[in-house]
Each structure stands twice: as structure tokens, then as C-alpha cells.
């Protein structure tokens, strides 16, 4: 496994692989790898000759007051996990390597960001598309893998690829879950015993909402209210939002007549959990 920090070295290795006709899969991360990342690497390994993992804590994704300085870091552990999961190259650039000078061209996401978690994270997705544009150019992958745990990010990446004709196939990978349905997250360890017992009800509520659509309900308002009522009876956490939107456009609908996302965010004392389910107008899950 190659561990590279220099942009030119990455370019040389990628060029060699491309000249050999090898297919490249790419998994971009901010490190501190967990089982969700491992699932992405597993899928990339299945479908490609070479797998590149990038680890870069992108400062452009953090607004003032967010946890850039305290974001967890463990390069040695990440490299060990990468090697165990068949990664061919780990790209570990520094901030100076990725942004050697102030950017002359600023990227701004104008759609798919003013809903869900993006509503309160101004500028976050501008930073996401900026760093991904650079990483896609550097690694030149055939396929790139993103987890559906952050379905809004997947939607924004989908728009980036389509709007700018980037020659990479986006592969959304289903959320990794505990046996009781709770989406795996590093934040789960912050839950109290009572909260941990309640937390699977987030996914249960979303599945309840999806079932309403399968039963013939086509009103987003009806589904949202019923999902919220279900969740309120199952958890003491504060429901930040429950939204139903078209997917991947993330637009409000008057009727469920196309693929949609039903998503929720719940705040507990020391952790805020998000989850979602994406399904078609018949109520059949798309990324299950």
C-alpha cells in the first residue's frame, strides 16, 4: 500500500495505473475511519482494480464555531484499517498541499442545500464541492463511493458530477446499521443507556412513514405529521426536523409522485443523530 502526501506523486501513480488500463475506485474521507468507511472500501474493492482512499480534514467545510481543531485524528490507525481493507493508495495531503494559495475561483452550491442539515450549515457544501473537484482531478477515478447516511451530501455530489460533466460514476452505498436498526455513528457512544434504547426509533419512524406511502398515502404533509407523531411517542430526544423531499433534487412536493427522501434529525443531551430512507412513489426502498 502506498501512502502519499505529494500531489505530483499521486499524479504519477494514477497515470501509471491509467496507462495499464486499470479501473480506479475512490473513497474520499476526513479520516478516523469506522465501519461505514469500511463498507465503502469493500464496495470499491469489489468493482475496481485499484482503490484510492483520501484522508483530508477539509477546513472549507467548517464554519466558525464548528469543531475543526478538535475533529478526531488518528493517522496510524487509519492506515492500518486501509491496509486491512485492500487499499492500494492512501492520499494524505496537508492543508498547504491542497490549498497552496488563496482560491481565485470560488465554488458555490445554489440548490439542494437549504433543507435538512444544510439549512444550518451555511457554506458547508461549498467546501465539499471545492475539495471534491480537486480530489477528482487528482485521483481521476472511474467510480467514487459515498454513504447514504449523509444522503444530502450524496445529492450534492450527484449535482456536481452532472453539472460539470465530471467523468466519474457516483456509487451510493447503503447505511451501515446496528442489529436494532440504529445507523452506525461515532456519536452513538455519547448516548446514555436510555437514549441508546430509544435511538433505533428514528429508523423505525422513518420505516413507518415509508409504509404509509406503500399503503397508498401520497400527501407529504400527512406522512410527515404521522412520522413525527410516531417518533414523539418513542423518544424523549428533541426532534430537530422531519422532512420529505424529492430525491436527489431535494425539493418540496405537493404529492409523492417520484423518488423521495424521508429524513429526520434528533438531538439528545450529548449527540445529534440523523437518519433517512429513500424510496420511490410506490414506497419501495431505493438504497436499502
- Residues of the binding site for beta-alanine: 61
Examine the domain organization and report whether 223 and 271 are in the same domain.
yes
User: Considering 147, 173, 199, which residue would you say is the last residue of a domain?
Assistant: 173
The total of structural domains in the chain comes to 2
Task: Give pLDDT tens digits for 185-199.
Answer: 878 888 999 999 999
| Mean pLDDT confidence for 68-79 | 84
CATH of the domain at 62: 3.40.50.620
Task: Give pLDDT tens digits for 142-152.
Answer: 999 999 999 99
pLDDT of residue 284: 96
| Mean pLDDT confidence for 256-271 | 96
Read off the pLDDT band of 49 (50, 70, 90). Answer: very high
Residue 77 lies in a domain: yes
Examine the domain organization and report whether 30 and 67 are in the same domain.
yes
Residue 230 lies in a domain: yes
- Residues of the binding site for ATP: 30-37, 147-150, 176, 184-187
Residue 64 has pLDDT above 70, yes or no: no
Catalytic hit among 37, 122, 217, 236: 37
CATH of the domain at 229: 3.30.1300.10
- Give first-to-last CA distance, the chain, whole Å: 32
- C-beta contacts of 178-181 below 8 A and 24+ residues apart: 181/207
Q: Please indicate whether residue 217 is annotated as part of the active site.
A: no
- Residues ≥6 apart with Cβ < 8 Å to 142: 23, 24, 25, 48, 168, 169
Examine the domain organization and report whether 153 and 194 are in the same domain.
no
| Mean pLDDT confidence for 115-125 | 87
Examine the domain organization and report whether 157 and 21 are in the same domain.
yes
Q: Name the residue range of residue 25's domain.
A: 2-173
pTM (two decimals): 0.93
Residue 241 lies in a domain: yes
CA distance 126 to 58: 11
CA distance 253 to 145: 28
Residue 179 lies in a domain: no
- Please, where are the H alpha helices in the chain? 7-19, 35-47, 75-84, 95-98, 124-139, 151-163, 193-198, 201-214, 220-232
Examine the domain organization and report whether 120 and 197 are in the same domain.
no
Amino acid at each position: 500500500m502506498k501512502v502519499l502526501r505529494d500531489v505530483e506523486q499521486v499524479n504519477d501513480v494514477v497515470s501509471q495505473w491509467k496507462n495499464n488500463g486499470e479501473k480506479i475506485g475512490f473513497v474520499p474521507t476526513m479520516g478516523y475511519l469506522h465501519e461505514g468507511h469500511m463498507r465503502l472500501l469493500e464496495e470499491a474493492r469489489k468493482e475496481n482494480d485499484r482503490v484510492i482512499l483520501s484522508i483530508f480534514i477539509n477546513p472549507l467545510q467548517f464554519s466558525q464555531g464548528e469543531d475543526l481543531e478538535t475533529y478526531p485524528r488518528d493517522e496510524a490507525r487509519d492506515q492500518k484499517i486501509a491496509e486491512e481493507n485492500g487499499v492500494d493508495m492512501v492520499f494524505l495531503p496537508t492543508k498547504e498541499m491542497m490549498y497552496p494559495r488563496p482560491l481565485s475561483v470560488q465554488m458555490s452550491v445554489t440548490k439542494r442545500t437549504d433543507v435538512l442539515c444544510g439549512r444550518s450549515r451555511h457554506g458547508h457544501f461549498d467546501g465539499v464541492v471545492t475539495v471534491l473537484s480537486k480530489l477528482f482531478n487528482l485521483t481521476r477515478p472511474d467510480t467514487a463511493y459515498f454513504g447514504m447516511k449523509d444522503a444530502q451530501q450524496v445529492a450534492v455530489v450527484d449535482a456536481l458530477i452532472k453539472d460539470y460533466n465530471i467523468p466519474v460514476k457516483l456509487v451510493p452505498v447503503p447505511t451501515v446499521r446496528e442489529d436494532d436498526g440504529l445507523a452506525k455513528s461515532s456519536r452513538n457512544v455519547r448516548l446514555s443507556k436510555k437514549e441508546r434504547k430509544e435511538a433505533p426509533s428514528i429508523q423505525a419512524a422513518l420505516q413507518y412513514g415509508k409504509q404509509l406511502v406503500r399503503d397508498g398515502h401520497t400527501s407529504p404533509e400527512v406522512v410527515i405529521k404521522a412520522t413525527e407523531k410516531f417518533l414523539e411517542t418513542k423518544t424523549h430526544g428533541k426532534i430537530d426536523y422531519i422532512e420529505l423531499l424529492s430525491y436527489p433534487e431535494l425539493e418540496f412536493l405537493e404529492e409523492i409522485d417520484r423518488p423521495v427522501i424521508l429524513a429526520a434529525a434528533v438531538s439528545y443531551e450529548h449527540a445529534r443523530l440523523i437518519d433517512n430512507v429513500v424510496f420511490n412513489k410506490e414506497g419501495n426502498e431505493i438504497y436499502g
